[in-house]
Chains A and B, each alone.
Chain A
Amino acid sequence: DADVTQTPRNRITKTGKRIMLECSQTKGHDRMYWYRQDPGLGLRLIYYSFDVKDINKGEISDGYSVSRQAQAKFSLSLESAIPNQTALYFCATSDPQGSYNEQFFGPGTRLTVL
């Protein structure tokens, strides 16, 4: 969905490096999410935010941190990347006026940690 953009789309980094993945949205939604996807494991929630001052841990937050700089921007950081963080990362939004199960996903960032 072009309304949710992620940068970079692909990134290769080395073990121990700090890396930031960025997400921007023009949908005007307050709720934003970061997911990780591994083959055969589906989507796992890392962090979510219901507004600029609200940050919540998801299922697998260890090793990650987030920043909600504005309603439209939600960044995910890997403090010290490790190889098992190699995965596809998705940002998503949802409308607080609707069901929060109806989410709009970005195109994903493919991260490889060597």
Chain B
Amino acid sequence: LAKTTQPISMDSYEGQEVNITCSHNNIATNDYITWYQQFPSQGPRFIIQGYKTKVTNEVASLFIPADRKSSTLSLPRVSLSDTAVYYCLGSDSNYQLIWGAGTKLIIKP
């Protein structure tokens, strides 16, 4: 049974780098791993997506090891506005979507 597991909550301070790791069990070997950000009373918003190794865009980096059993979202130099819930998303061998339960990130001044 495919499953994605992530920490329930994390906190950090402004200016720090934050890493959120998601563990994947039995996810498809040939599909993307995707991360989303959600603010209260809004829908989730796509942040970054990768297949393996490292992907970087203007807001985050995503590290995926060769075995794809985990992925780590890295947020550089966070600010108070990065306080949100972060979700990882994979899929199983039947391309069914497997969402993590979300990590509530709180950034302190």
Contact = CB atoms under 8 A, between A and B. Distances in A.
Contact of A1 (B31, B45, B89, B99): B45
Interface stretch (B36-44, B55-63, B73-81): B36-44
A43 B31 contact: no
Nearest to A105: B43
Contacts of A104: 46
B44 A43 contact: yes
Contacts of A108: 41-43
Contact of A102 (B34, B41, B43, B87): B34
A42 B32 contact: no
Interface string A1-21: 100100000000000000000
A52 interface: no
Given A41-B101, A42-B87, A42-B101, A102 B42 contact: no
A104 B102 CA distance: 17
B97 interface: yes
B32 A101 contact: yes
Contact of B46 (A40, A45, A102): A102
A34 interface: no
Nearest to A108: B43
Contacts of B97: 45, 100-101
Given A41-B101, A42-B100, A101 B41 contact: no
Given A42-B99, A106-B43, 5 more contacts: A42-B87, A90-B43, A99-B31, A99-B34, A99-B49
8 contacts: A4-B43, A40-B8, A44-B99, A99-B31, A99-B32, A100-B97, A101-B91, A105-B44
Interface of A: 1, 4, 40-45, 90, 92, 99-108
Closest 10 pairs (CB-CB, A-B): A105-B43, A42-B101, A101-B34, A99-B32, A43-B99, A101-B32, A42-B102, A42-B99, A105-B44, A90-B43
